Amino acid sequence: MNLRELTSVLRESAGEEEGVDLDGDILDTPFEQLGYDSLALFNTVGRIERENGISLPDDVVTEATTPRFLLDRVNEALAVAESA
C-alpha cells in the first residue's frame, strides 16, 4: 500500500478536514494534525483489513501516530499474507 492509497481510504472512511492537504508530504505528519482521531483510524484500519484480507494488531490504532507508521504496519502484514 502506498500513501496515495492510504489517503484515499482515509477520505472514504473518515472524510477530510477542511484546510488539510492530504495530497502533500504528510508521511510524518501526526494524524491528529491531519484531523483524524482514534475513531477515524479505527474505521480506516478496519477497512484496510477487510479490503486486503489482513489482520493488524489491536494496538496499531493507538500506536499509529503518522501515515508512515501505519503504512509500515500495513505493508508488513501484506508481505506476511503474500508469503503464506
Of 24, 58, 18, which Cα lies nearest the Cα of 7?
A: 24
pLDDT at 55 (0 to 100): 95
Confidence of residue 22 (pLDDT cuts 50, 70, 90): very high
Residue type, 71: L
Q: Which residue has the cell 494488531?
A: 57
Where does 3-16+30-83 sit in CATH, by number? 1.10.1200
Q: Is the pLDDT of residue 84 over 90?
A: no
CA distance 3 to 84: 25
Q: What is the pLDDT of residues 35-65, one digit of tens each?
A: 999 999 999 999 999 999 999 998 999 999 9
- What's the average model confidence in pLDDT over 14-28? 92
Q: Which three cell numbers stand for residue 75?
A: 505493508
16 neighbors 46 (Cβ within 8 angstroms) = no
Of 71, 81, 82, which Cα lies nearest the Cα of 9?
A: 71
